[in-house]
Amino acid sequence: MYTELFDKISFSEAKERVLSKSKIDIESALHSSHCGKPLNFEEYLSLIHPTADPYLEEMARLALDWTKKRFGNTISLYMPMYLSNECRSSCVYCGFSFENKIPRKTLNESEIRAESEILHSKGIRHLLILTGEDYSITNLEYLRSAVRILKSYFDSISIEIYPMDREKYEVLIEEGVEGLVVYQETYDPEVYSNYHLRGMKKNMRYRLDAPDRGGLAGFRRIGVGALLGLSDPYGEMFRLGEHAHYLSKKYWRTTIQISLPRMRPAQGEFDKTIFVSDREYVRFLFALRLFLPDSGLVQSTRESIRMRNHLAGMPITHMSVESRTDPGGYSGGEELKQFEIEDTRKIEEFTEMLRKKGLDPVFKDFDRAFLQVPDRIV
């Protein structure tokens, strides 16, 4: 389990390992990448270091080259569907936090169908379903029922919900779920403890090992991520790289994806966000691409239009589009969103931008024939 690796070094030691890197380490790492080798972990840490900034253009060229070699000129598109904003956990930075007195909603079957029909009509075949952390309302049976409906509309269904036991993951895979996404939020135990006040989410270690349980259950894709802005970004990037690398080596049948969301405004009064500049954010993404060239790098609509336009295909490979972060948001109705999104472009406008860049927007690259589930019914 990842926690065994995690326990070997503290968060502050991890941060210091990054900051101990020098210019010569950075140049050596870039040399490896020029030689066609994926970076090793120490080399990856070098490129996270702020001293790597003068080499950003070189990193960009390498990132573009690696992305093209491994993913071609394609961008996989997906859309999120929030099934529920019910939450029993209190995470101080999140709009869904139990403490926030906002209207709560969980989609029923007809509402799920209504949302699905809208997304399906837009051509989307990759769906990410999300819930808050209310284990009683969005329980396993609720999720199974939802997936039974959704698989009539979508070829690939991934979940971004509360962490589960392996056995429950197995049930969902059998039902037709292909991918699992578990953002750790922060890998800093102290900050984690301070920002997750109540609820099951307070159990950091259970969350840390959720991707392992997903790997053992047999998900085909597993996504991990850190929410940049909660703790020291160098410590977070050490851990995230370590975690993704560990998972990709251990669960070799599973594709690992990485996401680097930055904090966005949300309901509540959280005001301790640690600023991560565009330059830093881009440097982190380039370092990840050169370290893990086969991992999908996912970018959501949290980021600005400018950033998304420039990073598509270099190094980003998977993007959400036209997202709503509130349950029932695509069908209209109340505003119950988890956080503010930045890129509000319609799917047509976004795909036109991709095509102008010479990128092919991919709506479908998975088929449920891979899974032993009933055929499409619509």
Binding site for other proteins (CB under 8 A): 24-25, 27-28, 30-32, 34, 38, 55-58, 60-61, 64, 249-250, 252, 277-279, 282, 306-307, 309-310, 314
Which residue bears the tokens 């102290």?
A: 190
Residue 312 or residue 371: which is nearer to other proteins going by CB?
312
Extract the tokens encoding 76: 């996989």
The distance of closest approach from Cβ of residue 276 to other proteins in the complex, given in angstroms and rounded to an integer, is 13
Residue 56 or residue 114: which is nearer to other proteins going by CB?
56
Beta strands 156-160; 90-91: pairing state: unpaired
Residue 60 or residue 124: which is nearer to other proteins going by CB?
60
Rounded CA gap, 177 and 175, in Å?
6
Residue 224 or residue 312: which is nearer to other proteins going by CB?
312
Q: Which residues pair with 320 in a beta bridge?
A: 78
The distance of closest approach from Cβ of residue 240 to other proteins in the complex, given in angstroms and rounded to an integer, is 19
Residue 58 or residue 170: which is nearer to other proteins going by CB?
58
The distance of closest approach from Cβ of residue 53 to other proteins in the complex, given in angstroms and rounded to an integer, is 10
The distance of closest approach from Cβ of residue 42 to other proteins in the complex, given in angstroms and rounded to an integer, is 10
Rg, C-alpha atoms of the chain: 20
The distance of closest approach from Cβ of residue 358 to other proteins in the complex, given in angstroms and rounded to an integer, is 14
Extract the tokens encoding 8: 């070997």
| Residue from 217, 285, 228 nearest 257 by CA | 285
Rounded CA gap, 248 and 294, in Å?
9
Q: Would you say how long the chain is, in residues?
A: 378
Q: Which residues pair with 319 in a beta bridge?
A: 77, 299
Kindly state the DSSP code that residue 361 receives in the 8-state scheme.
Answer: E
Q: Is the dihedral of CA 354, 355, 356, 357 positive or negative?
A: positive
Residue 27 or residue 365: which is nearer to other proteins going by CB?
27
| Residue from 288, 285, 345 nearest 320 by CA | 345
The distance of closest approach from Cβ of residue 298 to other proteins in the complex, given in angstroms and rounded to an integer, is 20
Give, rounded to a whole angstrom, the gap between the first and last alpha carbons of the chain: 41
Residue 193 or residue 277: which is nearer to other proteins going by CB?
277
The distance of closest approach from Cβ of residue 60 to other proteins in the complex, given in angstroms and rounded to an integer, is 4
Burial zone of 38 (CB within 10 Å; 0-12 exposed, 13-18 middle, 19+ buried): middle
